[in-house]
Amino acid sequence: MNKSKRPFTKSKRSFRRRLPPIQSGDRIDYRNMSLISRFINEQGKILSRRVNRVTLKQQRLITIAIKQARILSLLPFLNNQKQFER
């Protein structure tokens, strides 16, 4: 019994590592709207840490910055604009 093929080997699949959404030079601040707006969805909700792919510390800073921007009315609390199709 010559077994030249191995039935249970791991295939070496190459995968592209995703870039982190926050670089080291980015400041997580309520004034940095281009950065903050990436972490909220269309309804205005804050996205989860798994979706954002950020660390726990970064997620806390993002949440605080989003809440400060909402209080200062830079961001909406809700975005309930219904799209009517006719």
Kindly report, residue by residue over 48-68, the tens digit of the pLDDT: 999 999 999 999 999 999 999
pTM attached to this predicted model: 0.71
Looking at residue 84, its pLDDT comes to: 56
Lowest mean pLDDT among 5-19, 44-58, 61-75: 5-19
Helices (H), 1-86: 33-36, 49-52, 56-71
Greater model confidence, 84 or 71: 71
Find residue 40's DSSP bridge partners: 46
Mean pLDDT value of segment 34-57: 92
User: Which residues, at least 6 apart from 84, have a Cβ–Cβ distance to it below 8 Å?
Assistant: none
pLDDT bucket at 26, cuts 50 / 70 / 90: confident
